Structure 1
Amino acid sequence: MHPGELIRVPLSVRWRDLDAFNHVNNSKYLSYLEEARLRWMLAIPGMGMDEDVAPVVAASTLNYRRPIAWPGDLVVELFVERIGGSSLTIGHRIVDTSDGGTLYCDGNVVMVWIDRNTGRSAQLPESVRAACR
Structure 2
Amino acid sequence: MSDAATPKVRKTPARRRKPAAKKTTESAAPAAAPPTQPAEENAAPVALIRVPLSVRWRDLDAFNHVNNSKYLSYLEEARLRWMLGVPGQGLDDHVAPVVAAAHLNYRRPIEWPAEVDVELFVERLGNTSVSIGHRIVDAKDDTVLYCDGNVVMVWIDRGTGRAAELPVAVREACS
Q: Which position in structure 1 is the counterpart of 2:57?
A: 15
Q: Distance in 2 between matches of 1:114 and 1:16?
A: 34
> 47, 70, 73: which one pairs with 2:115?
73
Residue by residue over 1:109-128, the C-alpha shift from the partner in whole angstroms, topping out at 9 and shown as x without a partner, is 00000000000000000100
Tell me how far apart the structure 2 counterparts of residues 132 and 33 of structure 1 sit (CA, whole Å): 17
Match of 2:160 in 1: 118
Q: Partners of 2:95 and 2:167 in 1: how far apart? A: 8
Greater Rg by CA: 2
Higher relative contact order (CA 8 A, sep 6+): 1
Regions of 4+ moved over 4 Å: none
1:40-73 Cα offsets, whole Å, 9 max, x none, are: 0000111100000000000000000000000000
Q: Which runs of 5+ in 1 are unaligned?
A: none
Q: 1:78, 1:14 → 2: CA distance? A: 21
TM-score (norm. length: structure 1) = 0.98
Equivalences for 1:53-68 in 2 at 5 Å? 53-68=95-110
- What secondary structure does 1:39 align onto? helix
Amino acid at match of 1:88: V
Three-state SS of the structure 1 residue aligned to 2:61 is: coil
- Partner of residue 48, structure 1: 90
- Which amino acid is 1:86 matched to? T
Q: How much is the aligned-residue C-alpha RMSD, in angstroms? A: 0.8
Q: Which residue of 2 aligns with 1:39?
A: 81
State how far apart, in whole Å, the 2-side matches of 1:45 and 1:4 are.
Answer: 18
2:146 maps to which residue? Answer: 104
Task: Name the SS of the counterpart of 1:47 in structure 2.
Answer: helix
Cα distance in 1, alignment partners of residues 138 and 111 from structure 2: 10
Q: For residue 88 of structure 1, report the CA deviation from its aligned partner.
A: 0.4
- In the TM superposition, what is the alpha-carbon distance from 1:97 to its structure 2 partner? 0.6
AA partner of residue 121 (structure 1): A
